Amino acid sequence: MRWMLILACLISLVADAHELRPGYLEITEVDPGVAEVTWKLPVVGTAREVPKVMFDADTQELTPPNERLTGDSRVFEWKIERTGGLDGATVRIEAPDGRFRDALASIHRLDGRHTTGRITPERPTLVIDPAPGWTRLAATYLMLGIEHILLGFDHLLFVLGLLLIVDGTRMLVKTITAFTLAHSLSLAIATFRIVEVPEGPLNACIALSILFLGPEIVRKWRGGESFTRRHPWVVAFAFGLLHGIGFASGLAVTGLPHASIPLALLWFNLGVEAGQLAFVFIVLAMQRSWKSISLRWPLALRRAPGYAIGILGAFWTIDRLVATFLI
């Protein structure tokens, strides 16, 4: 198996295996022209300077921002008033240290209209659309889902481990489908808070799922058999439930528009699936291209990915257990 280039690219990016967690801005109109603002940011290190939400000149603050901590997020809440209402207002994110990545914005009007948008360093200003449509929300959460999986390096490493274990196209389709169904199911269940799992132990278990695959890959290369080798789709489904709850944890930090949770969840999940399928396609395409070249790789290189997956899984497991129970 010729996976060293893939693995090298992954290892160069997975020092901490953190997922995408943008800020979340919610503006809810409570009276004509008066709105409550919630600005939610993931806690990053010990930095005190945070990106600030700035409104146009027609907007004034009725109350100063009130800060509170909720889990691993910092939340700022205040009230504003804008002459003429929210339609056409501009919102801008300014980062004092220049580290602002991006944010989701969700605006709710008194008449039930809802606007969703994304603010990025390249486009730091959002104009509140007076005639919003569902397509903007769909596009926003679709892209968020794609980025979430492609920057969730521990999830990608688990998928790569499955690809290293499974033989045959039919079994591969069955295994990836099982993983997809499992994390789609648990993503929905966790998002609607039917099941809640503490984030620390959850992340440790996700890392443990990667560690679990390491010995299974090595066992395959040595010609051994195991339940995982015979029924990889069962293992993929079981661990997929954990990974789906992990997706929901990241999405909860980001936030969902209260009026459109099912729609936003659907498009986020479609984005996750699109990113995952793109990753699988790229890996299989690279494997096919290497086979066509017919290079003879040294045995140490062929076995390195399995050992590396196990080592990274062990490192993340220990690191996350220490962070959860000892710090």
Domain contains 145: no
Domain contains 246: yes
Do residues 242 and 209 make contact, with C-beta atoms less than 8 angstroms apart? yes
Residues 100 and 125 in one domain: yes
Cβ neighbours around 300 below 10 Å, total: 9
Q: What is the pLDDT of residues 96-154, one digit of tens each?
A: 665 666 888 888 888 777 777 888 888 888 888 776 667 777 888 888 888 888 888 88
Domain contains 155: yes
| pLDDT for position 79 | 95
Q: Report the percentage of the chain scoring pLDDT > 70.
A: 83
Residues 311 and 162 in one domain: yes
- Residues sharing a CB contact under 8 Å with residue 286, sequence separation 6 or more, in sequence order: 5, 6
Closest CA to 18 of 148, 187, 211: 148
Report how far residue 5's alpha carbon sits from residue 302's, in angstroms, rounded to the nearest whole number. 11
Residues 103 and 204 in one domain: no
Domain contains 136: no
Residues 120 and 225 in one domain: no
Domain count, the chain: 2
Residues 225 and 111 in one domain: no
In the predicted structure, residue 5 carries a pLDDT above the cut 50? no
**Residues 179-203: what's their mean pLDDT?**
88
**Residues 261-271: what's their mean pLDDT?**
86
Cβ neighbours around 119 below 10 Å, total: 23
Q: What is the pLDDT of residues 26-60, one digit of tens each?
A: 999 999 889 999 998 877 555 556 788 999 888 99
Residues 40 and 180 in one domain: no
Q: What is the CATH number of the domain that holds 116?
A: 2.60.40
Residues 113 and 202 in one domain: no
Residues 188 and 262 in one domain: yes
Domain contains 114: yes
Q: What's at 9, amino acid-wise?
A: C
What is the residue-wise DSSP string for 89-131? Answer: -EEEEE-TTS----EEEEEE-TTS-EEEEEE-SSS-EEE--SS
Closest CA to 179 of 219, 121, 237, 122: 237
Residues 216 and 258 in one domain: yes
Which pTM value belongs to this model?
0.71
Domain contains 138: no
Residues 280 and 194 in one domain: yes
In the predicted structure, residue 65 carries a pLDDT above the cut 60? yes
Domain contains 78: yes
**Residue-range definition of the domain harbouring residue 103:** 23-131
Q: Which of 101, 131, 161 is the last residue of a domain?
A: 131
Q: What is the pLDDT of residues 237-249, one digit of tens each?
A: 999 999 999 888 7
- Residues sharing a CB contact under 8 Å with residue 162, sequence separation 6 or more, in sequence order: 175, 176, 179, 213, 232, 236
Domain contains 140: no
Closest CA to 85 of 48, 17, 31, 36: 31
| pLDDT for position 325 | 80
Report how far residue 103's alpha carbon sits from residue 22's, in angstroms, rounded to the nearest whole number. 5
Do residues 206 and 295 make contact, with C-beta atoms less than 8 angstroms apart? no
184 or 250, greater pLDDT: 184
Residues 310 and 181 in one domain: yes
Q: Indicate the Cα dihedral angle 111, 114, 115, 118, nearest 10°.
A: 140
Report how far residue 89's alpha carbon sits from residue 40's, in angstroms, rounded to the nearest whole number. 20
Q: Which of 98, 131, 164 is the last residue of a domain?
A: 131
Residues 103 and 247 in one domain: no
